[in-house]
Amino acid sequence: MSLDPECRLCLLWHDRIQVVPPSGDRLSKVALVGEAPGANEDEIGRPFVGRAGRTLDQLMQEVGLDREKVMITNTVKCRPPENRRPSPKEALACRPYLLEELAGKRLVLALGISAAEGLLGRKVVMKDSANQLFDVELNGLELKVMVTYHPSACIYTPGAKDVLREALRTATTYL
């Protein structure tokens, strides 16, 4: 199921500017998965281009991970109103797109609680799960998922930047 730029599988289409597809190398063995596009992403049409994206870019540069050599995407492809967390129904509507994007990946970094819970299918406490590898089966797709902090958490959570940096360093070993 290829990403439909006119997608109307859920009600998020009412408020979006555009569907935000993955960026980077779609054939990469590594994927970074966030929650949903924000205002900047919705306007530009690329994931992680706002403040969180600048943090992610800085940390990727520090560990020598080229943004264009990994695939970066979100669990939902349209911006939820007021940057709220996507509903389970919205995430489920986008699930076929995400599964197609994750096919063939060796490592998936789940950036933040929402992405982690969506990929693991259970509640996650970040301080207990950060930078742990989980073997996950999603609709027949076998994946290694590493839960880590969302780049926006680096702004207000002490130590989050070090944890995310280490997760990105691990990702380099999977390329």
Query: Can you give the pLDDT at residue 121?
Result: 94
Task: Specify whether the CB–CB gap between 131 and 170 falls below 8 A.
Answer: yes
pTM value > 0.75: yes
Average pLDDT over residues 69-98: 96
Question: Do residues 108 and 93 touch, judged by C-beta distance below 8 A?
Answer: no
Asked whether the predicted pLDDT for residue 37 surpasses 80, the reply is yes
Q: What percent of the chain stands above pLDDT 90?
A: 96
- Contacts of 3-8 with CB under 8 Å at 24 or more apart are 3/77, 3/97, 3/100, 7/77, 7/78
Q: In this model, does residue 9 exceed pLDDT 80?
A: yes
DSSP letter (8 states) at residue 79:
P
Band (1; pLDDT cuts 50, 70, 90) = confident
Average pLDDT over every residue of 52-74? 97
In this model, does residue 99 exceed pLDDT 80? yes
- Domains of the chain by range and CATH? 11-172 (3.40.470.10)
